Amino acid sequence: MELPENLKCKIESYKQKNLFRKLPVFNNLVDFSSNDYLGFSKSETIYKHTHAYLLENEIFQSGATGSRLTTGNHSIYQITETFIAQFHEAESALIFNSGYNANLGFFSAVPQENDLVLYDELCHASIKDGIGMSSAKSYHFIHNDFEDLEKYILKFPDTTIYIVTETVFSMDGDSPNLEELVQLSEKYNCYLVVDEAHALGVFGEKGEGLAQYLKLHNKIFARIVTFGKALGCQGAAILGNIELKDYLVNFARSFIYTTALSPHVITTIFTAYQQLEIEKESLEKLRKNIVFFNQQKNLLGLKPMFVHSKSSIHSAIVPGNDNVGKLAEELQDKGFDVQAILSPIVPENQERIRFCIHSYNSQEEINEVLELVRDFVF
Other C-beta atoms within 10 Å of 264: how many?
14
| pLDDT value, residue 223 | 98
Prior bond to 4 cis, omega within 30? no
CB-facing half-sphere around the CA of 128: CA atoms within 13 A: 9
- Cα gap 227→207, rounded to integer Å: 12
Short-list 364, 322, 357, 358, CA closest to 343: 322
Residue type, 185: S
CATH number attached to the domain at 280-377: 3.90.1150.10
Read off the amino acid at residue 367.
N
Residues 6 or more apart in contact with residue 33 via CB below 8 angstroms: 337, 338, 339, 354, 356
pLDDT score, position 345: 85
Phi-psi category of 232—alpha, beta or left, where left has phi over 0 and alpha has psi -120 to 50? left
Pick 44-278's CATH classification: 1.20.1250.20, 3.40.640.10, 1.20.1050.10, 3.40.50.620.
3.40.640.10
Q: Is 266 exposed, middle or buried, given 0-12, 13-18 or 19+ CB atoms closer than 10 A?
A: buried
pLDDT at 301: 96
CA-closest candidate to residue 214, choices 204, 225, 226: 204
pLDDT at 60: 64
Secondary structure in 3-state letters for the chain: CCCCHHHHHHHHHHHHCCCCCCCCCCCCCEECCCCCCCCHHHCHHHHHHHHHHHHHCCHHHCCCCCCCCCCCCCHHHHHHHHHHHHHCCCCEEEEECCHHHHHHHHHHHCCCCCCEEEEECCCCHHHHHHHHCCCCEEEEECCCCHHHHHHHHHHCCCCCEEEEEECCCCCCCCCCCHHHHHHHHHHCCCEEEEECCCCCCCCCCCCCCHHHHCCCHHHCCEEEEECCCCCCCCCEEEEECHHHHHHHHHHCHHHHCCCCCCHHHHHHHHHHHHHHHHCCHHHHHHHHHHHHHHHHHHHCCCHHHECCCCCCEEEEECCCHHHHHHHHHHHHHCCEECEEECCCCCCCCCCEEEEECCCCCCHHHHHHHHHHHHHHHC
Domain residue ranges in the chain: 44-278, 280-377
Reading the chain (378 residues) residue by residue, the pLDDT tens digits are 999 999 989 999 888 877 788 887 778 899 999 999 999 999 999 999 999 999 888 776 555 678 999 988 989 999 999 999 999 999 999 999 999 999 999 999 999 999 999 999 999 999 999 999 999 999 999 999 999 999 999 999 999 999 999 999 999 999 999 999 999 999 999 999 999 999 999 999 999 999 999 999 999 999 999 999 999 999 999 999 999 999 999 999 999 999 999 999 999 999 999 999 998 999 999 999 999 999 999 999 999 999 999 999 999 999 999 999 999 999 999 999 999 998 888 899 999 999 999 999 999 999 999 999 999 988
pTM: 0.95
Q: Angle, nearest 10°, between helix axes 125-132 and 99-109?
A: 30
